[in-house]
Amino acid sequence: MIADLTRGSGRFNFTLGAIGTAVGIGASLSQITAGSIVHQFSSNAGFLFLAAVAAAAFGLLYFFMPETRDKQFLHPNP
Protein backbone atom coordinates (compact mmCIF):
# COMPACT_ATOMS: atom_id res chain seq x y z
CA MET A 1 0.00 0.00 0.00
CA ILE A 2 2.82 2.40 0.85
CA ALA A 3 4.55 1.59 -2.42
CA ASP A 4 1.34 2.29 -4.35
CA LEU A 5 0.73 5.59 -2.57
CA THR A 6 4.30 6.87 -2.92
CA ARG A 7 5.07 5.60 -6.44
CA GLY A 8 7.24 8.07 -8.30
CA SER A 9 7.62 10.48 -5.39
CA GLY A 10 10.89 9.17 -3.94
CA ARG A 11 9.38 9.14 -0.45
CA PHE A 12 8.88 5.40 0.14
CA ASN A 13 11.48 5.01 2.93
CA PHE A 14 10.41 8.21 4.67
CA THR A 15 6.74 7.17 4.59
CA LEU A 16 7.52 3.64 5.77
CA GLY A 17 9.53 5.07 8.70
CA ALA A 18 6.79 7.57 9.58
CA ILE A 19 4.11 4.88 9.61
CA GLY A 20 6.32 2.57 11.67
CA THR A 21 6.92 5.37 14.16
CA ALA A 22 3.19 6.13 14.36
CA VAL A 23 2.42 2.45 15.01
CA GLY A 24 5.02 2.30 17.79
CA ILE A 25 3.78 5.50 19.43
CA GLY A 26 0.17 4.30 19.14
CA ALA A 27 1.03 0.96 20.73
CA SER A 28 2.73 2.59 23.70
CA LEU A 29 0.05 5.27 24.17
CA SER A 30 -2.73 2.68 24.03
CA GLN A 31 -1.11 0.78 26.90
CA ILE A 32 -0.72 3.92 29.00
CA THR A 33 -4.22 5.24 28.26
CA ALA A 34 -6.05 1.93 28.62
CA GLY A 35 -4.08 1.13 31.77
CA SER A 36 -5.14 4.42 33.31
CA ILE A 37 -8.76 3.84 32.35
CA VAL A 38 -8.71 0.31 33.77
CA HIS A 39 -7.10 1.59 36.98
CA GLN A 40 -9.69 4.37 37.40
CA PHE A 41 -12.82 2.56 36.18
CA SER A 42 -12.79 -1.09 35.12
CA SER A 43 -11.42 -3.48 32.55
CA ASN A 44 -14.68 -3.21 30.59
CA ALA A 45 -14.21 0.55 30.26
CA GLY A 46 -10.64 0.06 29.05
CA PHE A 47 -11.75 -2.48 26.48
CA LEU A 48 -14.59 -0.27 25.27
CA PHE A 49 -12.20 2.69 24.92
CA LEU A 50 -9.77 0.69 22.79
CA ALA A 51 -12.65 -0.75 20.75
CA ALA A 52 -13.95 2.77 20.08
CA VAL A 53 -10.50 3.95 18.96
CA ALA A 54 -10.19 0.93 16.65
CA ALA A 55 -13.67 1.53 15.22
CA ALA A 56 -12.84 5.19 14.57
CA ALA A 57 -9.59 4.22 12.82
CA PHE A 58 -11.43 1.64 10.71
CA GLY A 59 -14.04 4.22 9.72
CA LEU A 60 -11.39 6.74 8.70
CA LEU A 61 -9.55 4.19 6.59
CA TYR A 62 -12.73 2.81 5.04
CA PHE A 63 -14.12 6.18 3.98
CA PHE A 64 -10.99 8.23 3.25
CA MET A 65 -8.30 5.79 2.05
CA PRO A 66 -8.22 5.59 -1.75
CA GLU A 67 -8.02 2.26 -3.56
CA THR A 68 -4.37 1.56 -4.38
CA ARG A 69 -4.76 -1.35 -6.80
CA ASP A 70 -4.51 -0.82 -10.53
CA LYS A 71 -7.85 -0.48 -12.26
CA GLN A 72 -6.78 -3.24 -14.66
CA PHE A 73 -6.47 -5.63 -11.69
CA LEU A 74 -9.96 -4.72 -10.46
CA HIS A 75 -11.59 -5.09 -13.89
CA PRO A 76 -9.51 -7.48 -16.04
CA ASN A 77 -10.36 -7.75 -19.72
CA PRO A 78 -11.21 -11.28 -20.88
The string of pLDDT tens digits covering residues 34-67 is 999 999 999 999 999 999 999 999 999 889 887 7
Q: What is the largest CA-CA distance in the chain?
A: 60
The string of pLDDT tens digits covering residues 7-33 is 888 899 999 999 999 999 999 999 999
78 pLDDT higher than 70: no
Residue boundaries of the structural domains of the chain: 2-65
The continuous run of DSSP H or E covering 38 comes out as helix 12-40
* CB 10, CB 30: distance < 8 Å: no
13-64-50 Cα angle (round to 5): 85
70 pLDDT higher than 90: no
Q: Using the 8-state DSSP alphabet, how is residue 77 labeled?
A: -
What count of residues does the chain have?
78
